[in-house]
Structure 1
């Protein structure tokens, strides 16, 4: 793990967006396509705002979420809607959105089709993760009903999980897909999450799922 501390959040968001743009550019210079996977929630929003204007051939970039709440895009908790508003705009509007949601009653009903959609875009070229104060990442929540299966070496690329802390049912990239990413960044803010990250390093991944990603991650933190 490499830990990067920034003087303030604005500087961190700018530097992380620049790093991601540079890494996507490196990928596109040596490969036909690149895949970027990002978290939902409000924390990475400023990264998206800057990244959307990056001078890249976005038509060759696929963008997918780490995970999604099982809600339609007109729901204010939809990560897909947030992604469309803040990242897939400006120059980045030319990127291909790889969906992690379909209009089915339950995520299990769409798993096969959504999995087929992401496989051509693996491995992930650049992965940006967040982390909750409970040490979850993506929708790999401690205590989730199928956490062990989602973290197993033979896990399918996508799984549906349910956890008390998650609220809605979730669909998430599984640990083998996350760990296969070529470049990994973790974005956290505040003293509580820094303390949680340090605690996670002392725990097994089933108790602190983020711990499974830290050995080859760049961690970015600002107060």
Structure 2
């Protein structure tokens, strides 16, 4: 695990946005298209604000959330809403959003196969940004999640529904094999508690610390 430490959050957010943009631009030059996977939550918002104004070929970039709550897209709990409000605007409005939510379905199990079919052509992920909770979950791979063992296994499933005590609503999440297959993996965390948690996770099995599933290939970006 490689940890990059920054003197403050603002500098980390700016430098990380520039790093992601550079890696996307490199992928576009080499392959003509790229896929960016990003988390929800409040921490990455400023990164999205900067990234949305970067002058790269957004029309050939697909953006996918790493996970999604099974709520309407106008809900303030929706990761898709966050992406539309903070990332998919300005220059980045030209990017294609690959959804992990399907309106009109009461439960994710009803729509997961169709969502997988929509996602598959955009894999592998070119650039992956993850967050992590103090419980060491990432995406919606929660300790104690009802399908965590399957999601961490060598499954052929691209996404899975997930329910867990700490998750609130039912969710869908990219599985660990999809996350590990990303060409570049970044984890963004802030605060002393999460720094301690990710260092602890490095010595635990993924069933106890799901972030562990990607740590061997990840660059961790941290600021107090």
TM-score bin (small chain): over 0.9
Please give the per-residue CA displacement for 1:113-147, whole angstroms capped at 9, x wherever unaligned.
Answer: 10000000000000000000000000000000010
Report the alpha carbon displacement of residue 155 of structure 1 after superposing the two structures with TM: 3.9
In structure 1, how many angstroms separate the alpha carbons of the residues matched to 2:130 and 2:49? 17
SS of aligned partner of 2:46: helix
In structure 2, how many angstroms separate the alpha carbons of the residues matched to 1:155 and 1:188? 29
Q: Which residue of 1 aligns with 2:21?
A: 21
Give unmatched runs, 5+ long, in structure 1: none
Conserved? CA contact 1:186–1:218, under 8 Å: yes
Report the alpha carbon displacement of residue 73 of structure 1 after superposing the two structures with TM: 1.1
Q: How many residue pairs are counted as aligned between the two chains?
A: 223
In structure 1, how many angstroms separate the alpha carbons of the residues matched to 2:99 and 2:213? 25
Give unmatched runs, 5+ long, in structure 2: none
In structure 1, how many angstroms separate the alpha carbons of the residues matched to 2:99 and 2:35? 13
Report the alpha carbon displacement of residue 177 of structure 1 after superposing the two structures with TM: 0.2
In structure 1, how many angstroms separate the alpha carbons of the residues matched to 2:49 and 2:26? 21
How does the TM-score come out when normalised to structure 2?
Answer: 0.99
Q: Which residue of 2 aligns with 1:122?
A: 123
Q: Which residue of 1 aligns with 2:36?
A: 36
Q: Which residue of 1 aligns with 2:84?
A: 84
Q: Which residue of 1 aligns with 2:99?
A: 99
SS of aligned partner of 1:101: coil
Q: Which residue of 2 aligns with 1:65?
A: 65
In structure 2, how many angstroms separate the alpha carbons of the residues matched to 1:205 and 1:217? 15
Q: Which residue of 2 aligns with 1:164?
A: 165
Conserved? CA contact 1:155–1:175, under 8 Å: no
Q: Which residue of 2 aligns with 1:204?
A: 205
In structure 1, how many angstroms separate the alpha carbons of the residues matched to 2:155 and 2:175? 10
Conserved? CA contact 1:149–1:155, under 8 Å: no
In structure 1, how many angstroms separate the alpha carbons of the residues matched to 2:152 and 2:146? 12
SS of aligned partner of 1:99: coil
- Deviant stretches of 4+, over 3 Å: none
Conserved? CA contact 1:69–1:169, under 8 Å: yes
Report the alpha carbon displacement of residue 75 of structure 1 after superposing the two structures with TM: 1.1
Please give the per-residue CA displacement for 1:79-101, whole angstroms capped at 9, x wherever unaligned.
Answer: 10010000000000000000010
Alpha-carbon RMSD: 0.5
Q: Which residue of 2 aligns with 1:5?
A: 5
